[in-house]
Amino acid sequence: MKRLVDVRGLEVVRAGRTVLSLPRLTIAQGEVLALMGPNGAGKSTLLLAIAGLLPPTRGEIWFAGERLTRRNALALRRRMALVLQEPQLLSTTVWNNVALGLRFRRLPRPEIRQRTETWLERLGIAHLAQRRAGQLSGGEAQRVSLARAFALEPDLLLLDEPFSALDTETRADLIADLRHLLAASGATALLVTHYEEEARQLATRTLRLVDGKPAD
């Protein structure tokens, strides 16, 4: 299968400490890789590095055959989408939040409208389109955050513990939905999770990090 992400000899030093040291990691197209490990293991750090938001101290990150540098960071970033543990919605309508990344990309208006509609629908939040972000429940907000990422139809989805703030039921619902969406879109994803269950249901492979290093 084609290689989408290739991380070589990656080292990230934060506040004087090596928090990530990864000799090699490849993610193939269509793969859903679960990233597990205790708090502070470097999972979020890896996600941010691949997203080009945290410059590596050493090593290289390749994305779709291109080496990630300062110069192409924006272009490559626009082929990915990031979902954080807390949704980080803007204080505007749900619609505007979902359209946000599409507007950043300056897509034509009709396309923005069509994609926003589609993904609001697919995540079951079309009825909330005109609701303000501040008036959503945690689960609804997380759906908005996912819709916002999926609407970009990215080559790579970076999901950092997207369900950890949710109750068991909401989470089961969302996981089921996400599983369908991932399967249907054939998207490649890197999913940080603390739950074996989540990894088993969503991922095709699991990488465990401990103290910034891969553990077996």
Partner 1 sequence: MAFVWRGLLQAIELLWQGDAEVLGITLLSLKVSGLATSLSLLIGLPLGTLLALGRFRGRSFLLSLANTGMALPPVVVGLGVSILLWRSGPLGSLRLIYTPAAIVIAQVIIAVPVVTSLTAAALQQLDPRLRLQLLGLGASQIQVVFTLWLEARLPLLAALMAGFGSVISEVGASMMVGGNIRGQTRVLTTAIVLETGKGQFDRAIALSILLLTLTFLVNLGLTLIQQRRPPL
Ligand X SMILES: Nc1ncnc2c1ncn2[C@@H]1O[C@H](COP(=O)(O)OP(=O)(O)OP(=O)(O)O)[C@@H](O)[C@H]1O
Q: Which spans of this chain sit near Mg ion (rule: CB under 5 A)? A: 44
Q: How far is the CB of 17 from partner 1 (least distance, A)?
A: 19
The correct pick among 4, 7, 19, 81 for binding ligand X (CB under 6 A) is 19
Q: How far is the CB of 172 from partner 1 (least distance, A)?
A: 25
Q: How far is the CB of 104 from Mg ion (least distance, A)?
A: 24
Is the CB of residue 191 less than 8 Å from the CB of residue 35? yes
Q: Which is nearer to partner 1, 97 or 193 (by Cβ)?
A: 97
Q: Does 15 bind ligand X (CB under 6 A)?
A: yes
Supply 99's token pair.
């359209």
> Given the rule CB under 8 A, which residues bind partner 1?
48, 51, 53, 74, 77-78, 80-82, 84, 86, 88, 90-92, 96, 100-101, 104-105, 148-149, 152, 158
Q: How far is the CB of 28 from partner 1 (least distance, A)?
A: 22
Phi and psi of 137, rounded to 5°? Answer: -75, 170
Q: Which is nearer to ligand X, 13 or 75 (by Cβ)?
A: 13
What is the pattern of x (binds ligand X, CB under 6 A) and - over residues 26-65? -----------x-xxxxxxx--------------------
| Cα separation values, 194 from 35, 41, 136, Å | 8, 11, 25
Supply 146's token pair.
């996912």
Could you list the residues that contact ligand X (CB under 6 A)?
14-15, 19, 37, 39-45
